[in-house]
Amino acid sequence: MNATIERHAHRALLLLLLTIATVQRGIAADELPWPSGWTRFGDPEFVMGVVELENEHGRALLIESDEGDDDRFGAIGQTIDAASYRGRRIQLSGLLRTNGASAGAGLWMRVDRNREDGDRDVLAFDNMGERAVRGNTEWARYTVVLDIPSDADTITFGALLRGAGTAWVDELSLDEATEDTAGTAMALPKRLKADS
């Protein structure tokens, strides 16, 4: 499968997974439909799942919390094999909207290398830390751009919310970035590990 076809197939899969269900607002966290192949990260008290919106976006991913501690977070992510992306610059893009996001919401992507001891080293990372979407915002497109090293094994990507508030996420896509697209990688702490 060539890179263009693979990219479009992956985009179609992401959009399909985020539009698999219709629900009513106000349902408990464990009752929201969950997109197949995606993983929950962070605080289990955060409400996450697929919801129906009464606007042109139809269905979107919801991340919500009334937790006031800005150090706590909820995130959704998907992990894929990095082999076909090695040596490339890739871009995660998506639409975000927020309501009362105290510490911010954003997209995130992490590139890992497996170690012989079963642990993983983080090779590249961005969670929009200083660029996080805070407060009340309307739908806007955001991007995270990382270079995939030749020794990368996995790429994990998704969306997150820190602290209290609500974030809606739609139209996630993972594509090869053009050479002139600026990277957004954050400086990695010396001992950052994939499980931290």
Q: Please tell us whether the domain made up of 3-176 is placed in CATH 3.20.10.10.
A: no
The pLDDT value given to residue 6? 53
Please give the C-alpha separations between residue 117 and each of 80, 120, 122, 191, in angstroms, as whole numbers: 21, 8, 15, 16
In the three-class reduction of DSSP (H, G, I as helix; E, B as strand; rest coil), residue 118 is classed as coil
User: Per residue in 51-62, pLDDT tens?
Assistant: 988 777 788 999
Quote the pTM value. 0.82
Looking at residue 33, the DSSP 8-state letter turns out to be -
d(CA 2, CA 135): 41
Interval 136-192: pLDDT, tens: 999 999 999 999 999 999 999 999 999 999 999 999 999 999 889 999 999 886 555
State how far the Cα of 49 lies from the Cα of 60, in Å rounded to an integer.
Answer: 8
Q: Name residues whose C-beta falls within 8 Å of residue 33's C-beta, 6 or more positions apart in sequence.
A: 20, 21, 23, 49, 50
